[in-house]
Amino acid sequence: MFIPHRLILHIPHSGTEFYDNQKPFARLFLEKARDLVDWYTDELFSPDEGDKRILPVVFPLCRTACDVERMTDDPLEEKNLGIIYDGGNPLGDRSGIVSTGDRNYAQVRRYDEYVGHHHRMENLILSNSGSLVIDCHSFSSGPTLLLPDSGAASKYDICIGFNEDRTRPDDKFIGTVCSHFEALGYKVGVNEPFSNSKTFSTPVIYKSIMIEVNKRLYMDEETLEKTEGFRILHRQILDLYEKIL
C-alpha cells in the first residue's frame, strides 16, 4: 500500500475574502455564496498543532471571486461558474453594483491569485517527493448551483474522489480511506456525488485524493454555526492521517 512521506492539504474553498474593489459589497456577495463556501474546512482538515508531516495550503479568497480549482478552459465558464463567477459580479450583471472596469480589474487580479496559488502547490509537491495531496472539501446537504440534485447530496456523508491517471493511489490505499469512514458509520460515496481530485502540473510523481464531507456532519447549514459534530469529525480526520502516514 502507498505510504506517503507527507500530506499536502489543498483547501481551496473555505475562504471568505474578496478583492479590494469588491469588499464594500462583501456581505452581499458572501450571502450569495453561502451554499458554495466550504465553511470551516481550513480548521476541520488542518492539524491542531504544527506537524511537519502535514502541510495545509489554504486559499483565502471566496471561490466566487477566484476559484483555483477550475481550469483555464473550464467548461463551467459557460455557466458563469469558472475561475471567476458571474464575470466578477456574484450578484449578477443586472445588479449594476460592479462596473465593467471593476470586472476587468477582477479578471486581471484573478490570474495573479490563480497562478500564484498553483505555483505554491507545485513547489510544495516538488520539494516533498512522495507526498499525498488531499483535496479537502465539504458539500451542502441540499441542492446548490454545482449539485442541483438534492437527493445525490443527501445520500452520502463522505465522498472520496480520485483520478484515473498516475496520481491515483492504489486500491488498498483507497480502501483504507473508505473503510476508515465506513467503520465510523458514515455512508461513503466513491467518486459520488463528486468525482476526481485536483491535480497540478509537476514532473514529480505524487498521489492525490479528494475528501468531501457533508456539511450537516459538522455545522448548522442555516445559521452557519459549528455543531458538536465539528469536534468529532475533526478528530476522526486526524485519526485517518495517522493511519495512512
Question: What's the pLDDT score for residue 94?
Answer: 43
User: Please, which pLDDT band fits residue 190 given cuts at 50, 70 and 90?
Assistant: very high
Q: Where are the alpha helices (DSSP H) in 166-210?
A: 171-182
The number of CA neighbours under 13 Å toward the Cβ of 235 is 5
For 141, 180, 216, 239, 242, the CA distances from 144, given in Å and listed in that order, are 9, 28, 14, 30, 33
Residue 31 backbone dihedrals phi, psi, to 5 degrees: -65, -40
Question: What's the pLDDT score for residue 87?
Answer: 54
Task: Provide the percentage of residues in the chain whose pLDDT is more than 90.
Answer: 64
In whole angstroms, what is the distance from residue 86 CA to residue 65 CA? 9
Q: What is the pTM of this model?
A: 0.90
In whole angstroms, what is the distance from residue 110 CA to residue 188 CA? 34
Sequence-distant (6+) residues with CB within 8 A of 144 are 35, 36, 153
Question: What's the pLDDT score for residue 3?
Answer: 93
| pLDDT tens digits, one per residue of 131-159 | 999 999 999 999 988 888 878 888 999 99
Top pLDDT among 22 and 231 is at 231
DSSP letter at 81 equals B
What is the CA angle 223-106-65, rounded to 5?
20
Grid cell for residue 172: 488498498
| pLDDT tens digits, one per residue of 81-117 | 777 776 555 555 544 444 445 545 555 556 688 889 9
User: Please, which pLDDT band fits residue 177 given cuts at 50, 70 and 90?
Assistant: very high
Mean pLDDT of 203-223: 96
Which 3 state secondary structure label does DSSP give 207? strand
Q: What is the mean pLDDT of the chain?
A: 88
| pLDDT tens digits, one per residue of 9-57 | 999 999 999 888 778 888 888 888 899 999 999 999 999 887 899 999 9
